[in-house]
């Protein structure tokens, strides 16, 4: 896992120095400041919902919803779930929950019955804000299946056998289901007493209070509830915005999911701390809607995972959009192919696009490229350490490796989670006694402090005792003019333990064979890095947030080809 140490090299430890101090305020206080500083500037624009609110209007609506939550009997520290695609109501819930002293539980909109039940029960949600339906997701139908008592209950007085702590279901949109409270009604429920309670809470809430639980996508076992504080995520959003030099003049196009850190922290909380406008192109990702919105709304920043940018760049109507207003943005959530990054720089006018790296457990960002980093650095690394964050790279024995050597990346600082909700043992597995979060990612930090993520410890392929890193082979194959996207992973092999497999998506109208790909590799990369198996596919299995699920690919290939691992004594 680690390269050989080289004598005299500096250790792979970096610490983010900054003239900007950490914010010592809560999310609610940050919103109040935004309303004071930029009252007439647009805060939230959602064209498909006919919403265009200024910071002052948005803050007033948030206060009304927070008072409504308190009128429903929700108490400080209780959990409120939100289960919806990207909508203005999602964002009202995010900020209103923070103001009411509640802990927002962000639930993946792709969840189905058993996953939803697990999430609500695990953290004991007292209330749930839910969408009615989106495409094939009939949220209210699923809820009525999970909670048959809902239809016969008094709104706000639910008594469920399966979910005894859940008292209220708040429904976004319609038609209204029996037993639910309409979201629009919540803002009218709070009286003067509840508004005074919201004002009182502003001085009582502490920035170290938990404010958000996010479930990790979990490739193995049950998802874990990452518990984050105001201090964690508000500061991370603030410094993410700082890296992009965001001001109140900026407009961020946010097609990434709000339930995930990318949308709610790097999007919404970067906006509230910089004055930039949150612009939602639609409830779910659509490349055409994203291009239309970025163009019409004169967005200056655009967010996405690499697969989103690829879909936008390759859209048949791409050339018809004026994207000259774009300046910056973030590509994150999965390894960013160098060639895709270059196309985003050139074809989308995003000369100052940044790469960000992190994980939900660290709020999320630890490394980010700067808008003025040299292009070569911005397209080939994840940048340098974020302000007020520490990182070290260690070997299997826990020792810090020299600069330029490969090892596991560990993060420490204000951004590290409180822990996994009600999972002391699983927390201790990743968060050590000295406060270091062990990420499971393989990284290299160079002499200038730039970081390169070279894979996951679990993704590393050990072929015949040699460590092979899929990311390195993927980057080489992206150079092939007919390849649009590629993923490399290991599959079981009776002789070598593991062999390499490539899943390839070709560009529209192009054809390739496995032999073509092997010929392209011949003489260019070591023979043991040339994939033994090559499959051509239309899409990759992935989570809603764009993380590729290599374990699913591995299972499919092993089953299809009948591959078995070598026998060991």
Residue 217 reports pLDDT greater than 80: no
In this prediction, residues 199-225 reach a mean pLDDT of 87
The pTM of the full predicted model, rounded to 2 decimals, is 0.86
Give the rounded distance of the alpha carbon of 106 from its chain centre.
Answer: 12
How far, in Å, are 142, 245, 279, 388 from residue 273 at the CA level? 37, 12, 15, 17
Residue 220 reports pLDDT greater than 50: no
Helix (H) or strand (E) holding 53: strand 51-54
Q: What is the pLDDT of residue 549?
A: 87
In this prediction, residues 525-531 reach a mean pLDDT of 88
Residue pLDDT, tens place only, 118-153: 999 999 999 999 999 998 889 999 999 999 999 999
What residue ranges of the chain are covered by domains with CATH 3.30.300.30? 461-561
Residue pLDDT, tens place only, 376-398: 888 889 999 999 999 999 998 99
Q: What token pair was written down for 175?
A: 């038609």
| Helices of type H across 354-469 | 375-380, 424-430
The rounded distance, in Å, linking the Cα atoms of 304 and 254 is 8
| Residue 283 C-beta-side C-alpha neighbours within 13 Å | 18
Q: What is the pLDDT of residue 110?
A: 84
Q: What is the pLDDT of residue 396?
A: 85
- The superfamily in CATH containing domain 461-561 is ANL, C-terminal domain (3.30.300.30)
Q: What is the pLDDT of residue 564?
A: 79
The answer to whether 72 and 93 have CB atoms below 8 angstroms apart is no
Q: Of 178-192, 400-414, 512-526, which gets the smallest average pLDDT?
A: 512-526
Residue pLDDT, tens place only, 426-443: 999 999 999 999 999 999
Q: What token pair was written down for 32?
A: 């109040």
CATH of 224-420+440-456, one of 3.90.1010.10, 3.40.50.12780, 3.40.50.300, 1.10.287.110: 3.40.50.12780
Q: What is the pLDDT of residue 568?
A: 38
What residue ranges of the chain are covered by domains with CATH 3.40.50.980? 34-41+53-205
Residue where the block lists tokens 């699913």: 552
Q: Is 564 exposed, middle or buried (0-12, 13-18, 19+ CB in 10 A)?
A: exposed
Residue 7 reports pLDDT greater than 60: no
Residue pLDDT, tens place only, 15-61: 999 999 999 999 999 999 999 999 999 999 999 999 999 999 999 99
Residue 192 reports pLDDT greater than 90: yes
Residue pLDDT, tens place only, 323-357: 999 999 999 877 677 888 899 999 999 999 999 99
CATH of 34-41+53-205, one of 3.40.50.11780, 3.40.50.980, 3.30.70.20, 3.30.1650.10: 3.40.50.980
What residue ranges of the chain are covered by domains with CATH 3.40.50.12780? 224-420+440-456
What is the secondary structure of 473-515 as a DSSP string?
Answer: HHHHHTTSTTEEEEEEEEEEETTTEEEEEEEEEEPTT----HH
The rounded distance, in Å, linking the Cα atoms of 366 and 387 is 9
The answer to whether 241 and 273 have CB atoms below 8 angstroms apart is yes
The answer to whether 478 and 337 have CB atoms below 8 angstroms apart is yes
The rounded distance, in Å, linking the Cα atoms of 23 and 238 is 8
Q: What is the pLDDT of residue 9?
A: 87
Residue 306: pLDDT band with limits 50, 70, 90: confident
């Amino acid at each position: 896992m680690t390269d050989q140490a080289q004598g005299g090299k500096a250790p792979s430890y970096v610490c983010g120095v900054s003239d900007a101090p950490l914010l010592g305020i809560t999310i609610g206080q940050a919103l109040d400041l935004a309303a004071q500083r930029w009252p007439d500037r647009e805060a939230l624009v959602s064209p498909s919902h006919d919403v265009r609110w200024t910071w002052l209007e948005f803050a007033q609506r948030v206060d009304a919803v927070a008072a409504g939550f308190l009128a429903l009997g929700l108490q400080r520290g209780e959990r409120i779930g939100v289960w919806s695609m990207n909508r203005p109501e999602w964002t009202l819930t995010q900020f209103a929950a923070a103001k009411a002293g509640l802990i927002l539980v962000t639930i993946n909109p792709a969840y189905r019955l058993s996953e939803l039940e697990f999430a609500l029960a695990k953290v004991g949600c007292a209330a749930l804000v839910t969408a009615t339906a989106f495409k094939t997701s009939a949220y209210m139908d699923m809820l009525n299946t999970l909670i048959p008592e809902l239809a016969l209950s008094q709104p706000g007085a639910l008594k469920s056998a399966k979910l005894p702590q859940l008292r209220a279901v708040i429904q976004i949109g319609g038609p209204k289901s029996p037993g639910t409270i309409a979201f629009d009604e919540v803002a009218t429920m709070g009286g003067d007493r509840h508004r005074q309670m919201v004002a009182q809470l502003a001085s009582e809430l502490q920035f170290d209070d938990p404010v958000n639980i996010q479930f990790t996508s979990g490739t193995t076992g049950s998802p874990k509830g990452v518990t984050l504080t105001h201090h964690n995520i508000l500061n991370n959003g603030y410094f993410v915005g700082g890296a992009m030099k965001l001001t109140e003049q900026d407009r961020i196009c946010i097609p990434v999911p709000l339930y995930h850190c990318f949308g709610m922290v790097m999007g919404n909380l970067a906006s509230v701390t910089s004055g930039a406008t949150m612009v939602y192109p639609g409830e779910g990702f659509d490349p055409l809607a994203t291009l239309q919105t970025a163009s019409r709304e004169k967005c200056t920043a655009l967010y996405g995972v690499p697969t989103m940018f690829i879909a936008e760049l390759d859209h048949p109507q791409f050339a018809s959009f004026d994207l000259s207003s774009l300046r910056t943005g973030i590509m994150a959530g999965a390894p960013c192919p160098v060639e895709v990054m270059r196309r985003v720089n050139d074809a989308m006018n995003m000369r100052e696009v940044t790469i960000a790296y992190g994980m939900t457990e660290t709020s999320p960002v630890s490394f980010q490229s700067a808008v003025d980093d040299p292009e070569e650095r911005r397209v080939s690394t994840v940048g340098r350490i974020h302000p007020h964050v520490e990182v070290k790279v260690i070997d299997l024995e826990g020792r810090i490796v020299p600069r330029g050597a490969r090892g596991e990346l560990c993060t420490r600082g204000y951004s590290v989670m409180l822990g996994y909700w009600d999972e002391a043992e699983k927390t201790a597995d990743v968060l050590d006694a000295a406060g270091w979060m062990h990420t499971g990612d393989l990284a290299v930090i160079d002499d200038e402090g730039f970081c390169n993520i070279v894979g996951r410890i679990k993704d590393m392929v050990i072929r015949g005792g040699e460590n092979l890193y899929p990311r390195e082979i993927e980057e080489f194959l992206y150079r092939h003019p007919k390849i649009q996207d590629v993923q490399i992973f290991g599959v079981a092999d009776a002789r070598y333990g593991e062999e390499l497999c490539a899943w390839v998506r070709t560009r529209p109208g192009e054809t390739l064979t496995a032999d073509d790909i092997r010929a392209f590799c011949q003489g260019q990369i070591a023979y043991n890095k040339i994939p033994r198996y090559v499959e051509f596919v239309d899409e990759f299995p992935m989570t809603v947030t764009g993380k590729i699920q290599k374990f699913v690919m591995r299972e499919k290939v092993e089953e299809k080809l009948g591959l078995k691992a070598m026998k060991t004594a």
